[in-house]
A and B are shown apart, each in its own frame.
Chain A
Amino acid sequence: MTAPFPTHKQEEWRYADLEALQPVWEQFAEPVTLTVGAGEQLEEIWLPVADDVQLRRVQIALGEGAKARIFALNTAPVYGRIELEVSLAEGADFELYAANIGGGLSTNEIVTSVKHVGPGGRSRQVIRSVLNGKAVGSYLGKVDVAPGAQKTDGEQSVKAMLLDRGATANCKPELEIFADDVKCAHGATVGELDAMQLFYAESRGLDPAGARALLLEGFVMGLWDSAKESDAICETAREALRRVV
């Protein structure tokens, strides 16, 4: 049976393009479940596909001491959504490095719910958005720390670059902590390109458009420095940047 169609009243669907989603909802309604057993490791790179509307709904269950690293690029022409629900058993480790790149009237969003169930878990979420035109890019990130999950170490870093006054970045980190000995940090910035970096690049011979493109590339590519096979995701991101800038 298909899950009920979401509404904007649900916080995690607040910024979604439901109109675009409606016709294709059935094929995405059920999330994919990945289980990483105790002590095991998972590394995945999620590339965008060619469709106008793209959804990736994934649940990851991390066993004791398990580790998962996800590198993702979200850049659908109309509506893209990466939805991740992660649970961490004792000593598990989760890292997400993801980008929204959007132009035109597109909506791209990354929605996560990270549940620290056991103690001593660690989670890192690093999100970068580059938005032009009237594009919307969002990150809604919920981190839950269960009563027994002492020594949890959670971090969310969210930065967005708006290239046009019409573009919108939404950022909503949310913490729910029911343990008293935990470390959870989050930071968010929305900014423009650094003037001194631009001048440095131009003084070396790059024209203003080329310098801007290079700096934006650096803003995004830094995400995937630690991926084992980052060539494909970097190349796809470069193409996406060329398209939206």
Chain B
Amino acid sequence: MLHIEDLHATVADKPILNGVSLDVPAGEVHAIMGPNGSGKSTLAYVLAGRPGYEVSEGGATFNGRDLLAMEPHERAAAGLFLGFQYPVEIPGISYLQFLRESLNSQRRSRGEAELGGGEFIKLAKSQAALLGMDAEMLKRPVNVGFSGGEKKRAEMVQMGIMSPKFAVLDETDSGLDIDALKAVGAGINRIMRAPDKGVLLITHYQRLLDYVEPDKVHVLRSGRIERSGGPELALELEREGYAEAEA
């Protein structure tokens, strides 16, 4: 489903990714763990196409298509979703308008019919309810005045509405209290656990993996996958830290 081969990337001419190779087949959840500065967020941004994140070598395909040749909005329409570590505030635009226009833009480029106002509001309300978010918040400007935890929950509501094929979730668990963590974990399982979907879960900590059990765990360090293993690798890292795990 997602195939990354020898991916090198620079940010402001500084090499950050130094040859990442990774395969996430359909139906699987892979976790990427690693110390600060190892390149986790850079990998997420490169996959989503953030300007300024330059690929210098290697490549990535998504369901056989050249992912890196696509514009960010084309990646979204192809079914890729990035859950932001720091969701962005957009004053003056309500969440409902933002998501309806985004979703309909995706649907147009896939040749699907757009959702009408009533239909969309129904979808948005049901997804908000499933994530334990007050639907009234969707009337407010995008992320303005939201707490850190509310922003992360809202990212998952967005994912529920978009129902992507593949989600790259960049530290979606940071800034969450235990109840929010459970709700977010349940949301990821409900929305993304399916034979034709995949997830790349970027996290510092084992705790989200208690709720979303990964099929594989990879350790990213210095811009390379240093180790890969099963769920037990996350437990080992949690117990021993990145330094010991390396030794």
Complex contacts, B75 vs chain A, CB 8 Å: 203
Complex contacts, A195 vs chain B, CB 8 Å: 51
Asked if B103 is at the interface (CB within 8 A of a chain A CB), the reply is yes
Total number of A residues with any Cβ neighbor in B under 8 Å: 25
Whole-angstrom distance between the Cβ of B30 and the nearest chain A Cβ: 20
Asked if residues B91 and A222 are in contact (CB atoms below 8 Å), the reply is yes
Q: A207-222: which have CB < 8 Å to B?
A: 207-208, 210-211, 214-215, 217-222
Among candidates A206, A218, A220, A223, residue contacting B73 with C-beta atoms closer than 8 Å: A206
Whole-angstrom distance between the Cβ of B26 and the nearest chain A Cβ: 21
Asked if A4 is at the interface (CB within 8 A of a chain B CB), the reply is no
Among candidates B89, B92, B102, B109, residue contacting A204 with C-beta atoms closer than 8 Å: B102
Among candidates A199, A207, A208, A214, residue contacting B93 with C-beta atoms closer than 8 Å: A214
Asked if residues B72 and A203 are in contact (CB atoms below 8 Å), the reply is yes
Whole-angstrom distance between the Cβ of B67 and the nearest chain A Cβ: 13
Asked if A33 is at the interface (CB within 8 A of a chain B CB), the reply is no
Question: Within the assembled complex, what's the spacing in Å between the Cα atoms of A219 and B142?
Answer: 13
Among candidates B82, B91, B141, residue contacting A203 with C-beta atoms closer than 8 Å: B82
Closest to B86 in A: A196
Q: B196-246: which have CB < 8 Å to A?
A: none
Complex contacts, B50 vs chain A, CB 8 Å: 199, 203
Closest to B91 in A: A222
Complex contacts, A203 vs chain B, CB 8 Å: 48-50, 72-73, 75-76, 82, 84
Asked if B106 is at the interface (CB within 8 A of a chain A CB), the reply is yes
Complex contacts, B12 vs chain A, CB 8 Å: none
Asked if B9 is at the interface (CB within 8 A of a chain A CB), the reply is no
Asked if residues B72 and A210 are in contact (CB atoms below 8 Å), the reply is no
Asked if B57 is at the interface (CB within 8 A of a chain A CB), the reply is no
Complex contacts, A46 vs chain B, CB 8 Å: none
Question: Within the assembled complex, what's the spacing in Å between the Cα atoms of A222 and B144?
Answer: 12
Complex contacts, A202 vs chain B, CB 8 Å: 49, 71-73, 76
Asked if A28 is at the interface (CB within 8 A of a chain B CB), the reply is no
Question: Within the assembled complex, what's the spacing in Å between the Cα atoms of A203 and B103?
Answer: 11
Q: A139-182: which have CB < 8 Å to B?
A: none
Q: A181-207: which have CB < 8 Å to B?
A: 195-197, 199-207
- State the majority secondary structure of interface residues on B: helix
Complex contacts, B103 vs chain A, CB 8 Å: 205
Question: Within the assembled complex, what's the spacing in Å between the Cα atoms of A217 and B77?
Answer: 23
Asked if residues B90 and A218 are in contact (CB atoms below 8 Å), the reply is yes
Question: Within the assembled complex, what's the spacing in Å between the Cα atoms of A201 and B97?
Answer: 12
Complex contacts, A222 vs chain B, CB 8 Å: 91-92, 141
Question: Within the assembled complex, what's the spacing in Å between the Cα atoms of A205 and B109?
Answer: 9
Q: Name the residue among B49, B73, B87, B92 with the largest chain A CB count within 10 angstroms.
A: B92
Given A199-B51, A221-B92, A205 contacting B71 (CB threshold 8 A): no
Question: Within the assembled complex, what's the spacing in Å between the Cα atoms of A196 and B109?
Answer: 23
Complex contacts, B93 vs chain A, CB 8 Å: 214-215, 217-218, 221
Complex contacts, B84 vs chain A, CB 8 Å: 200, 203
Whole-angstrom distance between the Cβ of B178 and the nearest chain A Cβ: 28
Asked if residues B98 and A199 are in contact (CB atoms below 8 Å), the reply is no
Whole-angstrom distance between the Cβ of B105 and the nearest chain A Cβ: 5
Asked if residues A204 and B51 are in contact (CB atoms below 8 Å), the reply is no
Asked if residues A199 and B72 are in contact (CB atoms below 8 Å), the reply is yes
Asked if B124 is at the interface (CB within 8 A of a chain A CB), the reply is no
Question: Within the assembled complex, what's the spacing in Å between the Cα atoms of A225 and B89?
Answer: 16
Asked if residues B101 and A210 are in contact (CB atoms below 8 Å), the reply is yes
Question: Within the assembled complex, what's the spacing in Å between the Cα atoms of A219 and B92?
Answer: 6
Asked if B99 is at the interface (CB within 8 A of a chain A CB), the reply is yes
Question: Within the assembled complex, what's the spacing in Å between the Cα atoms of A215 and B109?
Answer: 21
Residues of A within 8 A of B (CB): 195-197, 199-208, 210-211, 214-215, 217-223, 225
Query: Which 9 pairs show the lowest CB-CB distances between chains A and B?
Result: A218-B92, A222-B92, A205-B106, A204-B102, A205-B76, A200-B88, A218-B93, A202-B72, A221-B92
Contact sample, A vs B, 13 pairs, CB 8 Å cutoff: A200-B90, A201-B90, A203-B49, A203-B73, A206-B73, A206-B101, A206-B102, A214-B98, A218-B141, A220-B92, A221-B93, A222-B92, A222-B141
